Amino acid sequence: ALFDRLAEYRSAQVPLRTGVYVPAEDNANVTGGWRFSPAGADPPVGADVDQRNAILSFDVRAANLDLTVRRGDFWGVFSVSIDGGPANGLPRDEQGRSYLVLHDPAGQTEQVPVARGLDARGPHHVEIVAHGGWGQWPLVSWTVHELPAAAPDPFSMWSFAALAVVSAVAA
Is it the case that residue 156 has pLDDT exceeding 90?
no
Q: For 12-60, how does the pLDDT look when each residue is reduced to its tens digit (9 = 90+)?
A: 567 888 999 999 999 999 999 999 999 999 999 999 999 999 999 999 9
The total of other beta-carbon atoms located within 10 Å of residue 29's CB is 13
Give residue 9's pLDDT band: very low, low, confident or very high (50, 70, 90).
Answer: low
- Percent of the chain topping pLDDT 90: 70
Q: Which residues, at least 6 apart from 54, have a Cβ–Cβ distance to it below 8 Å? A: 31, 32, 33, 34, 43, 44, 46, 47, 48, 129, 130, 131
Q: For 60-103, how does the pLDDT look when each residue is reduced to its tens digit (9 = 90+)?
A: 998 999 999 999 999 999 999 999 999 999 999 999 999 999 99
Kind and range of the H or E run holding 128: strand 124-132
Query: pTM (2 decimals)?
Result: 0.79
Give residue 149's pLDDT band: very low, low, confident or very high (50, 70, 90).
Answer: very low
What integer pLDDT is reported at residue 153 of this predicted model?
66
| Mean pLDDT score of the chain | 89
